[in-house]
Amino acid sequence: MAKRFLFSLFLTWILLHAVPAPALAQVACDLERGVSGEVVEVIDGDTVRLAGGMQVRLVGIQAPKLPLGRPNFEPWPLGDEAKSALSGLLLNQRITLYHGGQTPDRHGRALAHVFLGDDDQGLWIQGEMVRFGWARTYSFRDNLACVRELLALEETARQARRGIWSDPFYQIRAAIPPAGLLDLIDTFQLVEGRVISVQAVNRRVYLNFGQFWREDFTGSISASHARSFEESEINLTSLEGKTVRIRGWLEERGGPMITITHPEQIEIVDAVSGGN
């Protein structure tokens, strides 16, 4: 208990004295102002409760998960540390919510970008959590505001091995061979490899990372979602031969697969043809 208290104090000092993430006035995102309130409880590394009972899910990020009463749930590494980091930033502080997409979620929580204080000079909390490595970028098709900014902050944190990026649990996974990925089904992963072919089959587009699509890792995009790529910087057919990183929940469809619904799930790592 004493060690955890000291760790919390250390996190608070670091978060308050390091160069902070941008304030709202400096974040180039299209956000609509919502309500303000005081944080009376930090539930985990990406969820808080306001006075009055409103539960707020910090949209755009995913912190390490805690059991939170779920039976047989194995906590993710560094979940308590991520919660302590968010507590150091927000507990008993006044915040303002800003929205850039759907809210609330299916659990009734407000999905919001969170800023300290009541004006546009307040610290952007999602940016701060990602910058210090206490959360990953976690996007949804109907809530994409600020995702590009979060991805850039995440890359910096990962290169510096801050927070979760120092733990093997959160490492970027190789697309090939697929055996290791099959052990991670139903988990959120960042998977990286070279796309050897792009194929349209039965109203879906497949990014194939191996010769045997029934066994190897694949990214899958529905025809309706593929249309959103036409307006983005990512041309799906041009990904062939490039090294890319895909983020999402792993599922098993013969081999391991991630369903892709929006361009922000794909990062082009290396535009040069070659091996993984």
Tokens coding 176: 């090939």
Residues 149, 208, single domain; the answer is: no
Where among 166, 188, 207 does a domain terminate? 166
Angle formed by the axes of helices 2-17 and 79-90, nearest 10°: 50
Residue 275 lies in a domain: no
Q: How far apart are CA 214 and CA 148, in angstroms?
A: 32
Q: How far apart are CA 68 and CA 265, in angstroms?
A: 27
Residues 33, 141, single domain; the answer is: yes
Average pLDDT, the chain: 87
Residues 86, 158, single domain; the answer is: yes
Residue pLDDT, tens place only, 33-67: 999 999 999 999 999 999 999 999 999 999 999 99
Residue 276 lies in a domain: no
Q: How far apart are CA 24 and CA 12, in angstroms?
A: 21
Q: Is the pLDDT of residue 19 over 80?
A: no
Using H for helix, E for strand and C for coil, what is the string for the chain? CHHHHHHHHHHHHHHHHCCCCCEHHHCCCCCEEEEEEEEEEEEECCEEEECCCCEEEECEEECCCCCCCCCCCCCCCCHHHHHHHHHHHHCCCEEEEEECCCCCCCCCCEEEEEEECCCCCCEEHHHHHHHCCCCEEECECCECCCHHHHHHHHHHHHHCCCHHHHCHHHCCEECCCCHHHHCCCCCEEEEEEECCEEEEECCEEEEECCCCCCCCCEEEEEHHHHHHHHHCCCCHHHHCCCEEEEEEEEEEECEEEEECCCHHHEEEEECCCCCC
Higher pLDDT, 18 or 174: 174
CATH of the domain at 199: 2.40.50.140
Where among 134, 166, 198 does a domain terminate? 166
Residue 106 lies in a domain: yes
Residues 39, 149, single domain; the answer is: yes
| Arithmetic mean of pLDDT, 12-34 | 62
Residues 178, 266, single domain; the answer is: yes
CATH of the domain at 113: 2.40.50.90
Residues 227, 141, single domain; the answer is: no
Q: Is the pLDDT of residue 232 over 70?
A: yes
Residues 247, 134, single domain; the answer is: no
Lowest mean pLDDT among 23-32, 166-175, 264-273: 23-32
Residues 158, 191, single domain; the answer is: no
Residues 137, 188, single domain; the answer is: no
Q: How many other CB atoms sit within 10 Å of the CB of residue 103?
A: 18
Tokens coding 99: 């929205």
**Structurally, how many domains does the chain consist of?**
2
Where among 166, 189, 222 does a domain terminate? 166
Tokens coding 84: 């302590």
Residue in the structure block whose two tokens are 């369903």: 259
Whether 276 and 176 have beta carbons less than 8 Å apart is answered as yes
Residues 227, 266, single domain; the answer is: yes
Residue 216 lies in a domain: yes
Q: How far apart are CA 232 and CA 149, in angstroms?
A: 16
Q: The domain containing residue 155 runs over which residues?
A: 2-166
The greatest distance separating any two alpha carbons of the chain, rounded to the nearest whole angstrom, comes to: 58
Q: Is the pLDDT of residue 175 over 50?
A: yes
Residues 31, 158, single domain; the answer is: yes
- pTM (two decimals): 0.85
The pLDDT score that the predictor gives to residue 17 is 45
Residue 242 lies in a domain: yes
Q: CA nearest 89: which of 157, 13, 186, 155?
A: 13
Residue pLDDT, tens place only, 83-127: 999 999 999 999 999 999 888 787 788 999 999 998 767 899 999
Q: What percent of the chain has pLDDT over 90?
A: 69
Tokens coding 246: 């895909």
Residues 75, 212, single domain; the answer is: no
